[in-house]
Amino acid sequence: MAAGRCPGAVHVHDFADPQLGKAIPYGIYDLAANTGWVNVGTDHDTAAFAVESIRRWWRGQGQDAYPQATRLLITADAGGSNGYRTRAWKLELAQLSAETGLSITVCHLPPGTSKWNKIEHRLFSHITMNWHGRPLTSHEVILQTIAATTTRTGLRVDAALDTNAYPTGVRIGDAEMAALPLTRHAFHGDWNYVLHPRPAVPAARTPQTPEPEWDQALLSDPALTGMSRQQLDDLTETLAADGDTRRGRPPRLSFPEQVLATVLHLRVALAAEPLAVLFASSRTAMHRTLLKNRRLLKAHGVIIPPATTPPVALSALQARVHTQTRESNSKIKTTS
């Protein structure tokens, strides 16, 4: 160290500073172009903040770089603001898909493997080395340091400050989740899924428009199950020998209803919560039913492929769940 020069005093740990505020970096790394974009938030690291970061990247860089794009692939960690269990993450992405017209595929890295994500090795590692030893004393210093990051392989990085408010504790109801235009992949559908570019929630009805009468037969619509009603009956009969047991407490649902619920779960990605509403069951009973019947299908070598796009008939089911849930005012808190 040169004579007469002293390092500046800094905090040993990342304490919150009421004067300097927060700095929450959310990065997007374009694998093909070797470019990075970092949105530096000043409020909370929520799902809304994560998706807003993706939205800003798309508007500022993505749509100009890929004007003909119809799909967007996102690889994300398993937890945090973009975690696979976070309801708000999926809801916000559905809104982004509707805005942009892009089909958004999300592939989460398995829990505990976030360091496999390319963004760690090709973007944030270089940003960290670039600001190594430099106190981050202001938002301006943070933005300048991030934007100055380059590599020998041609990495370019842009950064922007996001001063919007992102409240925590946002509640997402069962009806909103059931209405999402979401298709899960056959392999680990909890980690891999697609959000399609159509309105995420059924359009609100005017007071003059009566609610259509609900017909339980809609649940077995071939457009939803991917098979004719006769094929569904045949499948039920095949599984009945092992699955339609009478031991213990009687089930809440008849066995044909249990099979139908499982087919809808696998075919159009309806979760246990909306299925419980549609079949007038409990969430716990539906979870157990789906777990049991998925094992049963696997034992019989039966595969129910997911629909490539959400069937139009799904909107009637979503409207039913929306109506029933609204009346019961059932809400579930997000994990973010």
pLDDT tens digits, one per residue of 210-254: 555 667 888 999 999 999 999 999 999 999 888 765 444 556 789
Which single residue is written with the structure tokens 């909107």? Answer: 315
Q: pLDDT: is 151 or 114 the higher one?
A: 151
Work out the pLDDT band at 330, boundaries 50, 70, 90. very low
Contact in structure between 55 and 96 (CB atoms under 8 Å): yes
Q: pLDDT: is 184 or 84 the higher one?
A: 84
Model confidence at 205: pLDDT above 70? no
